[in-house]
Amino acid sequence: MDSLTRWKIASDYERAFDQRGWIKKIPSIQFPQDWLITIIPPFAGALIRFCVATQKNPEKEISVYLDCYSMLGYYDDPCEPHWEIYPNCEGDNERFAMNDVDALIGGINAALSKKIKKIDI
């Protein structure tokens, strides 16, 4: 695929998902110091994706994404952007309101303490 075609696709994607509009809406997150954050490309309709592990247990990894358009999973309010982690401490998905960063950090922390092996995304 040539550069012009890639640019057109990227431009269309940016408009379709209002990426610039979300810049001021997505909250800042203060991650615990011992977490390892791996930023990964946002696929399947997620606006943001990253994985979390700890320095002590880098083989334990939690996947996190931000769904701003209810494209990837059911949330209580389908119009509210939300974070999803997988796996949570029960081995399932867990979702948190986009602005409830404290709950998100708590959920990731609980999941990291239970996670057994690295996930395959």
Q: Where are the domains of the chain?
A: 30-114
Residue whose pair of structure tokens reads 């940016």 in the numeric block:
14
CA distance 49 to 30: 16
Tens digits of residue pLDDT in 55-86: 988 888 999 999 999 888 777 777 789 999 99
Exposed, middle or buried by CB within 10 Å (0-12, 13-18, 19+), for 9? exposed
| Mean pLDDT on 4-21 | 94
CA distance 73 to 111: 19
CA distance 8 to 113: 43
Q: Give how far Cα 54 sits from Cα of 21, 42, 50, 57, 112, Å.
A: 32, 22, 13, 5, 8
Residue 100 dihedral angles phi and psi, to the nearest 5°: -90, 65
Q: Residue 15 gets which letter from DSSP? A: H
pLDDT of the residue at 118 = 53
What pLDDT band is residue 119 in, cutting at 50, 70 and 90?
low
| Mean pLDDT on 94-114 | 95
Q: pTM of the predicted model, to two decimals? A: 0.87
